[in-house]
Chain A
């Protein structure tokens, strides 16, 4: 669609070479759920003659490895717990459901960003750089920053082909509010014809409203704690609030229908939330809960350390001796083989 619009708007010329055009529309890493590419970005790379670059290929393989780890180890393990809690939510306490929603947040992030990493890494093996799709969104300090870091290729697509043609931020506050609601509702609808997605989009529009109205939506353009090891207290609180709001919206996204979502939320806001989460939600898990939580913590730490890179392990251990660095990569492979669980379909294959 963007190709046709870009030609109509005279941003690019129509591609006359059938093979080049075919490669552009059928570039396999993008086909199923890859980043939404623009002809202006991808076509010139296809047309240019490329030579094998071993450093690019190694970087591509490294990103594929990290993507597979995110999908098979983190997302699929989180999925088992999240599925148990969402499918049988009436049997669990509020605290268990909160943990289930948090696990779903990590599931959807690692599932989709894992796929994107695999797609980007695969393309890089062929010397092609695709658009970055995720930039550590759960380290965001407000919702505006979250949406600059989550599904970047879709967000920027909506910005360029919907928000700006609608008038964007020109024309006063009411125009901005209207356009923001429109793109978030359309974004919700893009995921499926279900009220749950629409409410998810509506909630995100509500969340972002304060920063739109007070013009603070571009307050956090850099990465949190840039150049520092740890965030400040204020940054930590902001990250936690943003993450909590996101998790709350994910409840609607994950629920089968609106009734289930509200029932789920009613349990979350009941007295049972003050109980300890129940281990039996891990009942059908492939791996022991201790292993799953440990892997998740290790994953968060590595993501935090590598948050200023294109992907978490792009520079991780680069200063280490080669055998030690390779041991790190081997341990990722071991985790994939031994802690990966029953294959789950990529969530975004359905959208």
Chain B
């Protein structure tokens, strides 16, 4: 038995050492959250436009296309709840901030506290007062998946942000098809149907708008362009409910709302996949938002 256990320990030892090395690397590599946070702090004195939202805005808003200094603080799966927390945290720091672009997309009014650990680690938010023992124990297994870890270890793509934006280079035609659109919508519908947070998120969005108005910052609501493969499969009831709520807010607070979801100015070549713009599409979309801001009549 002793010989067996010794042999087993010897067999496991290289794994243990490798595991420790990977854990160390993953904990010290700069994540996109850290890069974007540090970038924001570095540019705090100049930023006049701040974009928040999920990956639609994260991929689709190129801050360099705006006439005023802009910054992209949107992250994948970022909910409106974190949009609000981020804006509240950085408003006092961003003295010149004039506009906040809030991305409201198909699932936005249903997504709760996704990726909590990142917001805790990089921004200090811990709404649910979790201790994150699993995440602290292993970044490899519990923060990133092994596949993502592998990508991070050997090809760290997150270092290329400009004003918080990296963008996707080209079109992934494997993920730009009717079937891919159907699958993506089904996945989002599943999230939406299981969400019990709609009313809470809606009220948090409204309170974010109120705070911005109080600080004389103009909220700009946007909905990003999506491919026809995605749009054709959307649940009309959910789309109508989203629009109805946005229009209510628009009327109540005299808001600017730029809805580009079905915009015909975007072709397949502008998308990375069914519901995300690539760099070419992002530049086009960002220029459109900039012209909306330029033409805006809302002045403080």
Please give, as numbers and ranges, the residues of chain A lying within 8 Å of B15 by CB-CB distance. 330, 333
Kindly supply a per-residue 1/0 record for chain A positions 272-310, scoring 1 wherever the CB is within 8 Å of any chain B CB and 0 otherwise: 000000011111101100000000000000000000000
Given A279-B174, A280-B177, A283-B175, A54–B3 Cβ distance below 8 Å?
A: yes
CB distance B179 to A280 under 8 Å? Answer: yes
Asked if B14 is at the interface of the complex by the 8 Å CB criterion, the answer is: yes
CB distance A283 to B174 under 8 Å? Answer: yes
Q: How far is the CA of A92 from the CA of B177 in the complex (A)?
A: 12
Please give, as numbers and ranges, the residues of chain B lying within 8 Å of A91 by CB-CB distance. 178-179
Kindly supply a per-residue 1/0 record for chain B positions 65-99, scoring 1 wherever the CB is within 8 Å of any chain A CB and 0 otherwise: 00000000000000000000000000000000000
CB distance B182 to A88 under 8 Å? Answer: yes
Asked if A337 is at the interface of the complex by the 8 Å CB criterion, the answer is: yes
Choose among A52, A279, A338 the residue that contacts B146 (Cβ–Cβ < 8 A): A338
Give the distance to chain A from B134, nearest Cβ to Cβ, in Å. Answer: 16
Give the distance to chain B from A324, nearest Cβ to Cβ, in Å. Answer: 14
Please give, as numbers and ranges, the residues of chain B lying within 8 Å of A61 by CB-CB distance. 8
Asked if A326 is at the interface of the complex by the 8 Å CB criterion, the answer is: yes
Kindly supply a per-residue 1/0 record for chain B positions 115-126, scoring 1 wherever the CB is within 8 Å of any chain A CB and 0 otherwise: 000000000000
Q: How far is the CA of A58 from the CA of B174 in the complex (A)?
A: 44
Kindly supply a per-residue 1/0 record for chain A positions 86-99, scoring 1 wherever the CB is within 8 Å of any chain B CB and 0 otherwise: 00100110000000
Please give, as numbers and ranges, the residues of chain A lying within 8 Å of B150 by CB-CB distance. 338
Chain B interface helix/strand/loop/mixed? helix
CB distance A286 to B147 under 8 Å? Answer: yes
Kindly supply a per-residue 1/0 record for chain B positions 172-211, scoring 1 wherever the CB is within 8 Å of any chain A CB and 0 otherwise: 0011011110110000000000000000000000000000
Choose among A52, A57, A88 the residue that contacts B179 (Cβ–Cβ < 8 A): A88
Asked if A100 is at the interface of the complex by the 8 Å CB criterion, the answer is: no
CB distance A57 to B174 under 8 Å? Answer: no
Choose among B14, B147, B175, B177 the residue that contacts A287 (Cβ–Cβ < 8 A): B147
Asked if A340 is at the interface of the complex by the 8 Å CB criterion, the answer is: yes
Q: How far is the CA of A338 from the CA of B1 in the complex (A)?
A: 31
CB distance B147 to A282 under 8 Å? Answer: no
Given A91-B179, A283-B183, A284-B183, A52–B147 Cβ distance below 8 Å?
A: no
Choose among B4, B11, B180, B183 the residue that contacts A57 (Cβ–Cβ < 8 A): B4
Choose among B1, B4, B147, B180 the residue that contacts A280 (Cβ–Cβ < 8 A): B180
Which single residue of chain B is at the shortest CB-CB distance from A57? Answer: B4
Q: Shortest 4 CB-CB distances between A and B: which pairs?
A: A54-B4, A283-B180, A337-B146, A91-B179
